[in-house]
Amino acid sequence: MYSPDVKVIDVGRRPIDDYIFDIIVSFREGVNEVILKGRGDTISKAVDLYWKLKDRLGDSIELVKVDIGSERFRGRTKSYIALRVRRKY
């Protein structure tokens, strides 16, 4: 579905700093784009994660697109958000 230089980050119950650490490591390893995906209650957390990442990385990242949707997840229909974040340099 996505090329290997794109990584999907499923935002769950881990602390936001853990995700930030993972993303920074991924960028260093050559990933060009991350998709921050939040479902249901973690939609808000995905948006917070984006802003904390932006505070940390500043102009070296850009928000390419924000999608929202609704999908079956573990047997229930849940809203989701997908924030596509690209590394610029």
**Minimum gap (Å) between residue 89 Cβ and its own copies:** 23
Return the residue of 44, 56, 60, 62 that touches its own copies, per CB under 8 A: 44
* Per CB under 8 A, 68 contacts its own copies: yes
Residue 19 has a CB neighbour count (10 Å cut-off) of 21
**Minimum gap (Å) between residue 45 Cβ and its own copies:** 9
**Minimum gap (Å) between residue 62 Cβ and its own copies:** 13
The CA distance from 10 to 7, in Å, is 10
